[in-house]
């Protein structure tokens, strides 16, 4: 999908990204939006606490062969950070250790959802070098933008998949789609929860400060971009305090200021799972669903919508 040319006569739209900005400099979503003349801002939605890292350390130290793992499944950047945290701790304890057959995780595939997760995982090896606990063989990524797609990718990719066991690192909120698909293909999972999330205590204040920084008479329209179904339950009530969010039952039409004084906002999601959750569980109208979980795809989809819905 190609970008729609920007028309300078149109006011810049504000885009609220419900995500923690990238920690390594400029955020990719903010950068992509700015390049197309949008005014983006990221607001962290959740706080993360890590759990069972002692158990993960034990698993990593013993290695995949002893545990009988044919690979590892990681579906979020937070789980990657858990693996990285343990790896860095092990490096500090024994920086001279060399790759060997007993605990060489470089020899098994790591199956991940999306490019962003793959990048976080690859950063471990870039940080510590050729180390037996650092992943090297990363698969799925761009070809597996959702858990269901990753599960089907694994069944195609893993030789003699039936009867194999994979280590599956999870958080506290997980859909059963991936385990169900793999179970149907005869793949066993050894699941380990390595993190938990809760709503950010600063979200309401951060949201208020965003509005204070934008003049109330600013003519630019607003977009709200959701990145995860589990976070929508937490954020939507607070978003409703500032935005007029259209109901799923309302036909698409040009948004305009409401009698309540709240700003009308268009809604976009990073994928179909979040879109379905917003429509079916929260009754919200979703204007745009990004065809792929990538900044360029999201911006192109928003551009296309804006071009035909002035």
d(C-alpha 156, C-alpha 167), whole Å:
18
Domain 48-197 is in which class? alpha beta
What are the 10-residue block averages of pLDDT along the chain, 310 residues in total? 43 89 80 94 94 97 93 94 94 65 82 90 89 92 87 92 93 89 96 95 94 75 92 94 87 52 92 92 96 92 92
At residue 230, the pLDDT reads 83
Q: Any idea what DSSP says for residue 292?
A: S
At residue 143, the pLDDT reads 82
CATH architecture type of domain 14-45+200-308: 3-Layer(aba) Sandwich (3.40)
Crossing angle of the two packed helices 28-35 and 295-308, in degrees rounded to 10: 40
At residue 75, the pLDDT reads 92
Annotated domain spans of the chain: 14-45+200-308, 48-197
Query: DSSP labels for 108-153?
Result: SEEEEEHHHHHHHHHHHHHHH-S-TTS--EEEEETT--SHHHHHHH
User: In which element (H, E) is residue 33 found?
Assistant: helix 28-35
pTM of the predicted model, to two decimals?
0.72
At residue 252, the pLDDT reads 55
d(C-alpha 163, C-alpha 154), whole Å:
13
Residue 142 φ/ψ, nearest 5 degrees: -60, -25
Give how far Cα 18 sits from Cα of 31, 43, 77, 200, 283, Å. 15, 5, 16, 11, 18
Q: Any idea what DSSP says for residue 63?
A: -
> Which residue in 166, 173, 153, 201 sits closest to 47, CA to CA?
201
- Are residues 17 and 29 in contact, defined by beta-carbon separation less than 8 angstroms? yes
Q: Going by DSSP bridges, is the β-strand pair 243-245/195-199 parallel, antiparallel, or unpaired?
A: unpaired
> Which residue in 125, 22, 23, 48 sits closest to 83, CA to CA?
125
Same-fold call for 14-45+200-308 versus 48-197: yes
- Are residues 249 and 283 in contact, defined by beta-carbon separation less than 8 angstroms? yes
């Amino acid at each position: 999908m190609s970008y729609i040319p920007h028309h300078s006569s149109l006011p810049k739209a504000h885009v609220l990204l419900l995500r923690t900005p990238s920690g390594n400099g400029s955020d990719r979503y903010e950068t992509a939006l700015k390049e197309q003349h949008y005014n983006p801002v990221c607001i962290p939605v959740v706080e993360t606490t890590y759990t069972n890292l002692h158990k993960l350390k034990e698993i990593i130290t013993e290695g995949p062969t002893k545990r009988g793992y044919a690979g590892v499944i990681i579906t979020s950047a937070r789980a990657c950070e858990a693996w990285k945290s343990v790896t860095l701790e092990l490096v500090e304890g024994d920086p001279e250790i060399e790759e060997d057959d007993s605990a060489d995780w470089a020899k098994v595939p790591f199956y991940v959802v999306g490019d962003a997760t793959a990048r976080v995982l690859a950063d471990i090896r870039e940080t510590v070098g050729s180390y037996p606990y650092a992943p090297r063989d990363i698969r799925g990524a761009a070809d597996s933008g959702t858990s269901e797609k990753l599960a089907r990718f694994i069944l195609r990719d893993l030789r003699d998949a039936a009867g194999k066991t994979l280590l599956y690192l999870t958080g506290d909120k997980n859909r059963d789609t991936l385990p169900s698909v793999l179970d149907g293909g005869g793949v066993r999972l050894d699941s380990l929860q390595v993190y938990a999330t809760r709503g950010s205590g600063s979200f309401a204040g951060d949201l208020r400060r965003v509005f204070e920084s934008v003049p109330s008479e600013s003519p630019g329209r607003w977009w709200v971009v959701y990145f995860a179904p589990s976070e929508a339950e937490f954020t939507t009530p607070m978003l409703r305090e500032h935005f007029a969010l259209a109901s799923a039952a309302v036909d698409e039409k040009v948004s305009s200021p409401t009698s309540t004084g709240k700003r009308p906002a268009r809604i976009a999601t990073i994928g179909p799972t979040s879109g379905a959750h917003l429509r079916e569980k929260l009754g919200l109208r979703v204007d745009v669903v990004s065809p792929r979980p990538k900044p360029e795809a999201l911006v192109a989809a928003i551009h296309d919508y804006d071009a035909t819905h002035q």
